[in-house]
Chain A
Amino acid sequence: MAILVYTESEQGKFKKIAFEVASYARAIADDNNTTVTAVCINAESPMDLESYGVDKILNISSPDLTTFNALSYSQSILQAAENEKSNIVVISSSADSRYLAPLLAVKLNAGYVSNACELPSSYKPLTIKRTAFTNKAFENVQVNTENVLISLAKNSFSINEVKSSTSVEEFSVTIVENDTKVISVEKATDKVTIADADTVVSAGRGLKGPENWGMIEELAEVLGAATACSKPVSDLGWRPHGEHVGQTGKPVATNLYIAIGISGAIQHLAGINSSKVKVVINTDPDAPFFKAADYGVVGDAFEVVPELINKLKTFKAQN
């Protein structure tokens, strides 16, 4: 009956979202007077989870699970859920988790709620709020099945540090071989990804050309941020698709989103709606982005951004 939570790691290290989902599972467990079991796959130090309210860890170590495979990982989580007799399974909204989720939901015979953004408002039946229409609205969903799979939207639940007396159990799983195999992975290891970032610095056509992105990257570096861009910029090939933010690109749910030279098309604004604080820098005071932003600077990016970088460097040196 424990609440099962899949705590993701990368290269053996827990991602920040692992602690978000663990905290969220803890809150659900408290609502239901039950315990939290975390399942982790090839994590180096599973006990890192003891600070986030996890009672028990099912630790899976397997050379067959070194690279992510949606089917094998969903089988592993399924076996953990069966072992714990869990009716509620919680995962994150990372690309990997949302890849395995529908496979897991079918095998678990669970109603699946993706992009959940709050704790369930009731449990019998379970009702829960999720984002829909690319953050232009919320949908309250009632789950009619006994089992429920919830994927938690990024940055929608605060990490809560609670010390537990956590036990670790080595857990072995049976993986049925499948035909889908990862051959190679290309990933810039020195850059913060949009998925992991607390801050995103994003730029649009106002930058006039790809050669002007140096200052955007520098600003991102000063802030420890990921870089992103508007749709026209990715369509023009100035920046890679993976950076495109908006309705047909990536949603961005960060603490701070800085938009530079982006006018603020409705599709772009929808994509960043879940970000907590939005700053816009644009020469045009009538740009729609000013209506969606918390803070705005009317000015030329080529003057404002370099100065902001200098001032932030001074600020960072002092704080």
Chain B
Amino acid sequence: MKIIVCISHVPDTTSKINFTEENTKFDRNGVQFVINPNDEFGLTRAMWFKEKQGASVDVINVGLSDTESTLRKALAIGADKAIRIDMSPENGYNVATQLASYIKSGNYDLVIAGRESIDYNGGMVPGMIAALNNSNFINNCISLDIEGAKVTAAREIDGGRETIESSTPLVIGAQKGLVEESDLRIPNMRGIMMARKKQLEVIPAIESINQTNSIKFEKPIPKGEVTLVSADNLDELINLLHNEAKVI
């Protein structure tokens, strides 16, 4: 089985979000970048396929050279080979067209991408790869088994789960539940040393259209002070929620 995991290079979940250049660019100053958590759940599942079913696992990213540290981390976790498509992505469609083109030429059985990146939250890339390459697609994937070309998976739906059968070639939108938080792997020294010797191929971007452009960012309006209510006076809380906030 040939697997490729799409890796997005995103600010750590604890990052303070700021913008520069008159709020047109994300401020990278002091921000630590990590593997997008939804991609990392997928990468861990891919490692299990490698260990139990002998799958090969490539990782791929669309980005400039600063994203290579994130790809190296994926290699240290156990991926076999990394590919970086050399461009600064403008939007999800941009990324998806680049990835789809490479993936198509590589004949992968399984494409794993996080259901969304935690920075732009587009939720576009896995579905668009599937649409561009006419592959099957399961989003919000929380369980996945593959035997030959037969796929059994589960998708998280609002308020429950559904069991799905499908076939390869398949794209999944990965998320927590596919593996547990405690299953995630921290690269060990041996992994890090081996990662240095693994191939990190840099390939040029293909031409692609910018369907959308980001023009300006805004931060939410700072919130006012909290209104504290004494634990002995919960009638007051009910009164405020009913008459002031009008939510009950």
Contact = CB atoms under 8 A, between A and B. Distances in A.
B241 A144 contact: no
B214 A184 contact: no
B217 A311 contact: no
10 contacts: A96-B157, A102-B131, A138-B217, A142-B215, A178-B136, A223-B248, A241-B156, A241-B176, A241-B177, A295-B237
Interface in A247-274: 247-249, 255-256, 266-267, 273
B159 A277 contact: no
Main secondary structure of the interface of A (DSSP, over half): mixed
Contacts of B189: none
B234 interface: yes
A106 B245 contact: no
A214 B61 CA distance: 45
A312 B181 CA distance: 37
Given A127-B215, A140-B215, A248 B118 contact: yes
A266 B13 contact: yes
A235 B136 contact: no
A294 B220 contact: no
B217 A295 contact: no
B108 interface: no
B237 A297 contact: yes
B127 A102 contact: yes
Interface of A: 70-71, 94-96, 98-103, 105-107, 110-115, 127, 129, 131-145, 178-188, 191, 193-196, 198-199, 223, 231, 235, 241-242, 244, 247-249, 255-256, 266-267, 273, 276-277, 279-280, 290-300, 303-304, 307-308, 311-312, 315, 319
Interface residues of B, number: 81
A241 B175 CA distance: 10
Contacts, number: 260
Contact of A70 (B125, B137, B161, B217): B137
Contact of A248 (B14, B37, B130): B37
A120 to B, nearest CB: 12
Interface of B: 11, 13-14, 17, 19, 37-38, 91-93, 96, 118-128, 130-132, 136-140, 142, 155-167, 173, 175-177, 180-182, 209-220, 223-224, 226-231, 234-235, 237-238, 240-242, 245, 247-248
A111 B163 contact: no
Contacts of B247: 198-199, 255-256, 276-277
